[in-house]
Chain A
């Protein structure tokens, strides 16, 4: 335990500049959106307190916004505002709005009618009644709303990393993808601490007497403005070319770290979810992205992969991995699963992914069509011999493969299948496997080598150019360490690749990663 804590500390020290950037960006995102939400929510709350007829409509609308899942709200923002800070701030603003409007409204409505009447009866004008009596008395409730909104925003702001807006989500999602607990904690702990600290500070303000609160309430916007400005700090590198990389890619030696080390690339980067990355490249929001070479969107958005002339991306041949225990119990399983081997090459997989990601066909239908075309499909036997739990990560290719395996198992054995699809990233999937929550899922040799086995640099460098050597290495080590068996590779290689728009790559004559580096250095 002590060793582990030490290494988390090491990680944080080692990554302190990134951590600081992310924390400041996180604070900035939280408070810019909060500032806008206060600036709009408080007057709106006052308005509906004065015009009660509007209250139902406004609160209802803000309530509906609140119920939209945060990741979906971010998704809706992209067509409107693109990627980066704007959609993130807009989404956070919408989340902060309801508690602020509602508490302003409740606070003002809650002022004793006799007190309001006394204020009028003394001869205060309506603005004097508002500022001298209603707002000060509503302040504790109003501040409670701002407090709720702040804590919500600190939490939701982690998702901003999905759309290239930065923040501590970069570490959290990077860590989940990379099976790196330290990285997750390096993001999660500061995020939790921010929430706790802001909540505590605001609770102190809330419990001040109204008199002292006056000073604080004046100081607060200044402070918030200051905190917001963190976000506007200049980016590390300037340049014409903007790269969008997934959190996973950012943290991998066979990713951004390798680009920096082996290619000496100094490129302006933002972190972004692969769900929106391809579209952002197509819409010219990004110039270079880190994609997968069999991704269907490659075809859909007319992107080209750059040649990895220095071999930093190891091979990612897909193969089913199965718990040994299950294979011993149901030996017929191996034969059924191996039927797919040699049947899908890169082009075929890209085509299948294209149908899923771009034509939005259901993975089950794509899988069945494919198996029928290959003459592999058989009616399910509806066997009850046992249940195989198939997992998959949360992207189209994995859904398609897990569907194919499900059909093969049902058609060729007397086993039944239970699918647990959409298990976040590698870490979640693999942990589910070691904890016997699932029996098998499709994995990639490169991921096994680097992410799960965390193989040392020297060994990786030796293996990396030979796809068979990588396969044999992970196969041996998985059996030894985890009692998990790699079956035969399916055939295609879904490796990491840098991608650009075809047109831009032709215009700039960039064909390899070295070309790209040369171009960036000049411009």
Chain B
């Protein structure tokens, strides 16, 4: 869906982004990960031409993005920034309505869409007439997501969207986002410096440093087959948590016994998810979606299987 080839951005003699290429499939969640100054935000902003590339090519659905004027391009791409980017002089409803209005939707349709989105993001309708300053940081960020989703764009660009929130709010909004029914079909490119966030959301992670890609691939590849020392060091601090989020129940499915019970999760879920569910009970039941098989997951066995699995991967 998005193809980037030989992308470059120079500021004077400094190469902020240096010869980057990647492909993103439709519906894929692609993470640009790295420390500040690594070029990840510059890369993201080149995708909707907030920054013009110095060299290279970006194609969306096979079309060069330079074929259209930047305004048209941006109206078709959702864009989420940190929570202080809502328009403070617009109400929540007017904030959400910005892109539909730019696209010339009629008022009825816009109103209906605003109501629909506010409900999806678990805010009551009365908030529609509030101003951003009257909302909490978490509520603001929900509105921010609603604003980006308003015109139902196939692509969402997210620039450290949860960076300014406290850890609790951050993870709860992250969950809400991933549980939205349109989430599955959206192609998402997200910039973050947060390894946990990257591993939780990302289908594929692109780790950058000094304007260059150090490694891109599935979470497990980065974790278990780091391409270089930079990748290894970058992930080492978060290794355990990242591993728990990367390894799925289905990866260690063979080690559990079949036993009927109240199903708490699917085998697609991560070990981390299972551990969270097992905080107050020693045993949960998981189902394998493809064949409906239910197995009993025990904490002791789970941890042992996990450590065996990671050992074989490295």
Contacts and interface: CB of A to CB of B under 8 A. Distances in A.
A118 interface: yes
B86 interface: yes
B87 A133 contact: yes
B89 A211 contact: yes
B71 A118 contact: no
B102 A123 contact: yes
Contacts of B88: 115, 137
Contacts of A120: 50, 74
B72 A117 contact: no
B79 interface: yes
A118 B86 contact: yes
A137 B74 contact: no
A213 to B, nearest CB: 9
A40 B79 CA distance: 36
Contact of A122 (B72, B84, B99): B99
Contacts of B99: 122-123
Nearest to A120: B50
B107 interface: no
Contact of A125 (B48, B71, B85): B71
What does DSSP make chain A's interface, helix, strand, loop or mixed? helix
Given A112-B84, A114-B81, A114-B82, A121 B89 contact: no
B86 A122 contact: no
A271 B84 CA distance: 57
B102 A121 contact: no
A119 interface: yes
A216 interface: no
Contacts of A114: 81-82, 84-85
A118 B102 contact: no
Given A136-B89, A210-B89, A123 B50 contact: no
B89 A122 contact: no
Contacts of B79: 118, 121-122
Given A123-B75, A123-B99, A117 B89 contact: no
B71 A123 contact: yes
A444 to B, nearest CB: 64
B102 A124 contact: yes
Interface in B130-178: 147, 157
Interface residues of A, number: 19
B7 interface: no
B235 interface: no
Indicate the member of A118, A210, A211 with the most B CB atoms within 10 Å. Answer: A118
Interface in B209-263: none
A122 B81 contact: no
B89 A118 contact: no
B24 interface: no
Contacts of B157: 121
Given A123-B99, A123-B102, A124-B102, A118 B87 contact: yes
Given A122-B75, A123-B102, A137-B89, A117 B50 contact: yes
A122 B50 contact: no
Nearest to B147: A122
A8 to B, nearest CB: 47
B31 to A, nearest CB: 19
Interface string A335-377: 0000000000000000000000000000000000000000000
Nearest to B74: A123
A119 B74 contact: no
Interface in A130-152: 133, 136-137
Interface in A293-347: none
A128 B102 CA distance: 10
B85 A123 contact: no
Interface in A467-499: none
Contacts of B73: 123
B141 to A, nearest CB: 13
A120 B102 CA distance: 12
A477 to B, nearest CB: 69
Nearest to A133: B87
B98 interface: yes
B50 A119 contact: no
B81 A121 contact: yes
Contacts of B98: 122, 124
Interface string A226-237: 000000000000
B144 to A, nearest CB: 8
Contacts of A112: 84-85
A125 B71 CA distance: 6
A118 B74 contact: no
Given A117-B50, A137-B89, A210-B89, A122 B74 contact: yes
Contacts of A123: 71-76, 99, 102
Nearest to A113: B85
Interface string B36-61: 00000000000010100000000000
A136 B90 CA distance: 10
B71 A117 contact: no
A120 B45 CA distance: 11
Nearest to A213: B89
B48 A121 contact: yes
A128 to B, nearest CB: 8
A441 B102 CA distance: 76
B87 A119 contact: yes
Contacts of A133: 87, 89
A133 B102 CA distance: 14
A115 B81 CA distance: 9
Contacts of A137: 88-89
A123 B71 CA distance: 4
B290 to A, nearest CB: 40
Given A117-B50, A118-B79, A124 B85 contact: no
Contacts of A124: 71, 98, 102
Contact of A117 (B75, B76, B81, B147): B81
A372 B74 CA distance: 88
Contacts of A121: 48, 50, 74, 79, 81, 157
Among A112, A115, A121, A137, the one with the most B-chain Cβ atoms within 10 Å of its Cβ is A121
A114 B74 CA distance: 16
A410 B87 CA distance: 76
B26 to A, nearest CB: 22
A125 B73 CA distance: 12
Contacts of A119: 87
A120 B99 CA distance: 11
B153 to A, nearest CB: 10
A152 to B, nearest CB: 28
Contacts of B102: 122-124, 128
B205 to A, nearest CB: 23
Contacts of A115: 84-88
A121 B50 CA distance: 7
Of B72, B99, B157, most A-chain CB atoms within 10 Å:
B99
30 contacts: A112-B84, A112-B85, A114-B81, A114-B82, A114-B84, A115-B86, A115-B87, A117-B81, A117-B85, A118-B79, A118-B85, A118-B87, A120-B74, A121-B48, A121-B74, A121-B79, A122-B75, A122-B99, A122-B147, A123-B71, A123-B72, A123-B76, A124-B71, A133-B87, A136-B89, A137-B88, A137-B89, A209-B89, A210-B89, A211-B89
6 smallest A-B Cβ distances: which pairs? Answer: A123-B75, A123-B74, A121-B79, A210-B89, A118-B85, A114-B85
Given A115-B85, A124-B102, 6 more contacts: A114-B82, A115-B88, A121-B48, A121-B157, A122-B75, A137-B89
